[in-house]
Amino acid sequence: MNPTRNIISLVRRYSTSRTVKISSHGSPATALKSMNDMWWNDGFAKIENENITDKISNKEVLVEMLHAPINPADLNIIQGTYGTNVQVGGVAGMEGVGVVKKVGSGVTGLKENDLVVPSMKQHFGSWRSKGVWSEQQLFKVPSDIPTEYLSSISINPTTAYLLLNDFVKLQQGDVIIQNASNSMVGLSVVQIAKARGIKTINVIRNGPEFEDNVQRIKQLGGDIVVSEEYVRTPAFRKLISDLPSPKLALNAVGGQSATELSRILADNGTLVTYGGMSREPVTIPTSQLIFRNIQLRGFWLNKWFEQHTDSEKQSVYDAIFDLIRKKQFKLMIEKHKFSEFDAALLKSQQPGHGRKVVLDLQL
C-alpha cells in the first residue's frame, strides 16, 4: 500500500466553496460577517471558504452555482423579520441557478450539465459558489433561457404570475391596479398583464427616481402610472373614468396606499396583500366591506410552494419561460461579481434602484 497515494486520494475528495453565511440576525452589513471575524466591527460582510465534499451520497447532487439575486426577502431573513428563519451559521440566499457537476447513483431526474434552481420547499442557501443538495431540493430548468433570468425566476415573476391568476378570473380588457409598481414583482405584473391584454393602473411613490420609474413602467407596457399622492385627487378619478373599474388590486405597501386601492376597486373586487413595505397595517373602511363587498386576501409564495406540486410549479414556470422566448417579458438585472459582494449588497438596498442585483458566483 502506498500511503502517499492514499493521502492524495483523500485530499481530492474536497473542493473549496465560497459562501456568505448568516452569523447573527440583524443589519445585513454586520449579520453577514464571518463567524471568525465577529470581534472585528468593520461594517463589511464576509465571504468565507468552506470545504465541499466531491464524494456525494446516493441521492445527492453536486452543483456549481452560477448566479443568485439579492432579494428583499433575503434581507428580511437576515434581519430575522421574515415568515421563516434561517439558523445562525446557515448560508444566505433563497434562489439562484447552478449547473449539475455530479450526481449520486440513486439520482434519477438529473444528470451532469443540467441547469437547476431551488425547489423552493425550504431555504436553499444560494449565496455560494458550489454546494451539495438532495435531488428533492433541486428543480431542472431549460438551457435556452439566460442563466441570469433563471436565477431570478422563482420569486418575483412567479409571484406576479400567481397574483394575476389565482384570485380573480381576469379576461382581456379587464383592469387591475397595483402599488409598488416599480418593484420587481410590480414590473413583472405589468408585463404579464400586457401579454394577456389586461390594463394596469400603476401607483408608485414620489421621489428623485419618479420620472425614470414612470418611463420604465410605460416602456414595459404599463397603461397608467401615477404617484400615491395623485391617486387621492379628483384629477385621478377623471383620468381613469373611461376605464372599467379594477377587479383586482395588488398591495405590497400597506397603510394609506392600501386604503386608496380599496376605494378604487369595483364592487365585489379583491385586494390581495403580498407585502408591507410601509410597515403600516392594512386599514380598509368598514363601508368598503359591507356596502361594496370588497374581498381581502393575503399571499405568501413560500406557502404556495408548500401546498402545490412540482407539476403545478412547472406549469407556472413554463408560462413565464414562454413569455421570455416570445420577448414579452424581461427582467431588469444588474450583475455584480461575488468577490465584490459588499458593493452588491449596498446597491441592492438603494431605494428606487430599479434593477435586480444578481451575483455572478464564479467571479
Catalytic residues: 82
The single residue listed with the C-alpha cell 440566499 is: 93
52: left (phi over 0), alpha (psi -120 to 50) or beta: beta
Bridge-based pairing state of the strands 60-69 and 97-103:
antiparallel
Quote the DSSP letter at residue 103. Answer: E
Three-state DSSP at 37 gives helix
Angstrom distance (rounded) from CA 24 to CA 26: 6
- List of E strands, the chain: 14-19, 48-53, 60-69, 97-103, 115-118, 130-134, 138-141, 175-178, 199-204, 224-227, 248-251, 254, 270-273, 280-282, 295-298, 333-337, 356-360
Please, how many CA atoms are within 13 Å of residue 198, restricted to the half-sphere of its CB? Answer: 27
Angstrom distance (rounded) from CA 277 to CA 22: 23
Grid cell for residue 362: 464564479
Main-chain phi, psi angles of 164, to 5 degrees: -85, -15
- Containing H/E element for 75? helix 72-79
For every residue of 241-285, DSSP letters joined together read TTSPPPSEEEESSEHHHHHHHHHHSPTT-EEEE---TT-EEE---
Angstrom distance (rounded) from CA 86 to CA 19: 15
Bridge-based pairing state of the strands 48-53 and 14-19:
antiparallel
Angstrom distance (rounded) from CA 65 to CA 47: 15
* Amino acid identity at 120: M
Angstrom distance (rounded) from CA 9 to CA 263: 69
